[in-house]
A and B are shown apart, each in its own frame.
Chain A
Amino acid sequence: MSRIEGVLKSLKDQGRKALIPYITAGDPHPDQTVELMHTLVKAGADIIELGVPFSDPMADGPVIQLACERALKHGTSLRQVIGMVREFRKTDSATPVVLMGYLNPMEAMGYEAFADASADAGIDGVLTVDLPPEEADDVAPLFSQRGMDPIFLLAPTTTDSRIKAISEHSSGYVYYVSIKGVTGSATINVEEVAAKVAHIHELTALPVGVGFGIRDAKTAGAIGKVSDGVIVGSVLVDTIARHQSDPGALNKALYDLLYPMREALDSLAP
Chain B
Amino acid sequence: MSVKLTDDMLKALPDSRGHFGAFGGRFVSETLMDSLMTLEKEYLRLKDDADFQAEFDKDLADYVGRPSPLYFAERLTRETGGAQIWLKREDLNHTGAHKVNNTIGQALLARFLGKKRIIAETGAGQHGVATATVCARLGLECHVFMGSEDVKRQSLNVYRMKLLGATVHAVESGTKTLKDAMNDAMRDWVANVDETFYIIGTVAGPHPYPLLVRDFQSVIGRELRRQSMEKVGKLPDALVACVGGGSNAIGMFYPFLTDESVELYGVEAGGLGIATGQHAAPLCAGRPGVLHGNRTYLMEDENGQIAGTHSVSAGLDYPGVGPEHSWLKDIGRANYVSVTDEEALAGFRTLTQVEGIMPALESAHAVAYALKLAATMDKDKMLVINVSGRGDKDIHTIAQLDGIEI
* Interface residues in chain A, defined as those with a beta carbon under 8 Å from any beta carbon in chain B: 54-62, 65, 69, 72, 77-79, 102-109, 129-132, 134-135, 152-159, 162, 166, 177, 180-182, 185-186
B294 to chain A, nearest CB (A): 10
Complex: A252 Cα to B25 Cα, angstroms: 44
Indicate whether A186 sits within 8 Å of B191 (C-beta atoms), given known contacts A132-B26, A132-B28, A134-B26. Answer: yes
Complex: A78 Cα to B26 Cα, angstroms: 23
Indicate whether A158 sits within 8 Å of B30 (C-beta atoms), given known contacts A180-B190, A180-B191. Answer: yes
Q: Are A55 and B290 in contact (CB under 8 A)?
A: no
Q: Are B29 and A103 in contact (CB under 8 A)?
A: no
**B342-375 CB contacts (< 8 Å) to partner A:** none
Flag whether B114 is at the interface (Cβ < 8 A): no
Complex: A152 Cα to B33 Cα, angstroms: 13
Flag whether B56 is at the interface (Cβ < 8 A): no
- Chain B residues, CB < 8 A from A156: 31
Q: Are B187 and A58 in contact (CB under 8 A)?
A: yes
- Chain A residues, CB < 8 A from B183: 56-58
Q: Are B27 and A182 in contact (CB under 8 A)?
A: no
Interface size for B (C-beta < 8 A) is 37
A-B contact number at CB 8 A: 116
Among the listed B31, B32, B174, B187, which residue makes an inter-chain contact with A55, where contact means beta carbons less than 8 Å apart?
B174
Complex: A162 Cα to B32 Cα, angstroms: 13
Among the listed B30, B191, B291, which residue makes an inter-chain contact with A132, where contact means beta carbons less than 8 Å apart?
B30
Complex: A134 Cα to B28 Cα, angstroms: 11
**B264-310 CB contacts (< 8 Å) to partner A:** 288-293, 298, 300, 302-306
Among the listed A62, A78, A135, A177, which residue makes an inter-chain contact with B27, where contact means beta carbons less than 8 Å apart?
A135
Indicate whether A182 sits within 8 Å of B302 (C-beta atoms), given known contacts A65-B173, A134-B17, A162-B34. Answer: no
Q: Are A180 and B194 in contact (CB under 8 A)?
A: yes
Complex: A227 Cα to B342 Cα, angstroms: 60
CB-CB nearest 6 A-B residue pairs: A108-B304, A105-B304, A155-B31, A181-B191, A77-B303, A153-B30
Indicate whether A180 sits within 8 Å of B300 (C-beta atoms), given known contacts A65-B173, A105-B305. Answer: no
Chain A residue nearest in CB terms to B27: A130
Indicate whether A55 sits within 8 Å of B293 (C-beta atoms), given known contacts A132-B28, A155-B31. Answer: no
Complex: A109 Cα to B290 Cα, angstroms: 13
Q: Are A56 and B291 in contact (CB under 8 A)?
A: yes
- Chain B residues, CB < 8 A from A158: 30, 33-34
Complex: A108 Cα to B306 Cα, angstroms: 11
Q: Are A56 and B174 in contact (CB under 8 A)?
A: yes
Chain B 186-220 interface mask (CB, 8 Å, partner A; 1/0)? 11001111100000000000000000000000000
- Chain B residues, CB < 8 A from A159: 34
Q: Are A61 and B187 in contact (CB under 8 A)?
A: yes
B183 to chain A, nearest CB (A): 5
Q: Are A180 and B193 in contact (CB under 8 A)?
A: yes
Chain B residue nearest in CB terms to A105: B304
* Interface residues in chain B, defined as those with a beta carbon under 8 Å from any beta carbon in chain A: 17, 25-35, 173-174, 179-180, 183, 186-187, 190-194, 288-293, 298, 300, 302-306
- Chain A residues, CB < 8 A from B194: 180
Complex: A103 Cα to B304 Cα, angstroms: 9
30 residue pairs of the A-B complex, CB under 8 angstroms, read A54-B304, A55-B305, A56-B180, A58-B183, A58-B292, A59-B29, A60-B187, A103-B27, A104-B290, A104-B291, A105-B303, A105-B305, A107-B290, A108-B304, A130-B27, A130-B29, A130-B290, A135-B17, A135-B26, A153-B29, A155-B31, A157-B30, A157-B31, A157-B34, A158-B30, A159-B34, A177-B31, A180-B192, A182-B191, A186-B191
Complex: A36 Cα to B173 Cα, angstroms: 26
Indicate whether A157 sits within 8 Å of B191 (C-beta atoms), given known contacts A78-B303, A108-B300, A131-B27. Answer: no
A216 to chain B, nearest CB (A): 22
Among the listed B180, B190, B290, B292, which residue makes an inter-chain contact with A182, where contact means beta carbons less than 8 Å apart?
B190
Q: Are A62 and B291 in contact (CB under 8 A)?
A: no
Q: Are B191 and A177 in contact (CB under 8 A)?
A: no
| Given pairs A108-B304, A155-B29, 15 additional interface contacts (CB within 8 A) | A55-B305, A56-B291, A103-B27, A104-B298, A104-B305, A105-B304, A107-B289, A130-B290, A132-B27, A157-B33, A162-B33, A177-B29, A180-B192, A185-B191, A186-B191
Output the residue of A107, A152, A154, A177 with the most chain B CB within 10 A.
A107
